Amino acid sequence: MSTLEYQYCPPPEDNYTAAADSEAGMPLPGFLPNLSPRHVSGQNRSEQIAPGYEQLAATLAELLAGLPSLPLDGDDEAEVRTNVGTVLAEVVEEEPNQGRIKRGLTMIKGLLSPIATSAIEAASEESAELARTVIQDLGSSLPF
């Protein structure tokens, strides 16, 4: 069984705006896989990934690492992070809820699709390729 190591950043105060944090380079609330030594305030956690969900967790970690390079507005970026957090919370359960995972992945794919198809003018070839790869990997990494 693989281990998912991440930091959980609790939701901020009532006057929080995702766009302001995103523009300032601050992490948005949610699950942040430990992919770099950068310090992020929050609680370090380590949990076991349910068997069969290791590739899905790795793909979501890759998405979070590349998220700053994708041309998403602050609200869409926050929505991606929220859905990634929901799916990651499920894959560490003893019996992950497949319905929640499917809903979360559908939302993520829907937010990435305009980038993958270059429908967003600000999408570079690199960001479009990242979005296409993540969408493809999300579909192929489900154990059900």
Lookup: tokens for 65: 């690492």
Angstrom distance (rounded) from CA 30 to CA 46: 15
pLDDT digits (tens, 9 = 90+) for 10-32: 444 444 444 444 444 444 445 54
**Tokens 């990651």 -> residue:** 88
Angstrom distance (rounded) from CA 144 to CA 141: 9
Angstrom distance (rounded) from CA 127 to CA 117: 10
pLDDT digits (tens, 9 = 90+) for 30-75: 554 543 333 333 456 678 899 999 999 999 999 999 999 999 999 9
Angstrom distance (rounded) from CA 78 to CA 46: 23
DSSP label at residue 92: T
